[in-house]
Structure 1
Amino acid sequence: MAVAILLLLSGTTFYRMVEGWSWLDSLYFSVMLISTVGLGDLYPVTEFGKIFTVFYIFVGVGVFVALFAQFARALVIGPRKDAPPDPDNLKE
């Protein structure tokens, strides 16, 4: 989860600084790009922005697929067997 948040923050900051977009537009574009929605209303115009976007898509999609796979696994399988017991549910 921390990696996904860091990825969104880094993409947002990059587009804010390099493309000159607002913080909201930069975050919006980062989320749209990683979620593969790609509405086309925003797009990088600088060469550096285009190159960064290519790598950002590959890394971002990979991170979010892994994150969603972990969530799905937790929903289907349940908590891990080797997880420590919840202290609130311990019987004395």
Structure 2
Amino acid sequence: MYPLKLFFDFLRDKTYRGLVISTFSVLVSGTLVYHFVEGWRWLDSVYFSVITLATVGYGDFSPQTDFGKIFTIFYVLTGIGILFGFIDTFYKHRISKFEELKEKRKNKSK
């Protein structure tokens, strides 16, 4: 199964819709806050949001305002769990699809 097809299949599945919306909402909220509070460009705001939640933290950007720093504390504490939950669920979805495909091939060969 191709990665892009698998990803869109994951997005179409209603059981994962809440997780997808939560993950998207966290990334959008971070992007909006960093754009308007810190005055960063849109791309820089998205970049920082993703890098922060992925716990990479290159250090090329950091909040300078008090509100930005306080927001980042709560953003990391809530966002990391949601993002890792999304990654874990997507991985499990991927494994189940591969198992289904494997089972179909096995049944066809019989």
Q: Same fold (TM over 0.5)?
A: yes
1:74 aligns with 2:79: no
* Partner residue in 1 for 2:105: none
TM-score of the aligned structures, taking structure 1 as reference length: 0.80
Give the number of the structure whose residues are more often helix, by fraction. 2
| Pick aligned residue for 1:38 from 57, 60, 67 | 57
CA RMSD of aligned residues (A): 1.3
TM-score of the aligned structures, taking structure 2 as reference length: 0.67
- Deviating more after overlay: 70-79 vs 18-27: 70-79
* Partner residue in 1 for 2:84: 65
Percent identity among equivalent residues? Answer: 44
How far 1:65 moved relative to its partner? Answer: 1.0
- Equivalent residues in 2 for 1:1-92 (5 A)? 1-78=20-97
Give per-residue Cα distances to partners, 1:29-73, cap 9 Å, x unaligned: 001101111000000011111000011001110001111111121
Q: Show structure 1 runs of 5+ residues with no match.
A: 80-92
Report the count of equivalent residues: 79
CA distance in 2, matches of 1:18, 1:55: 15
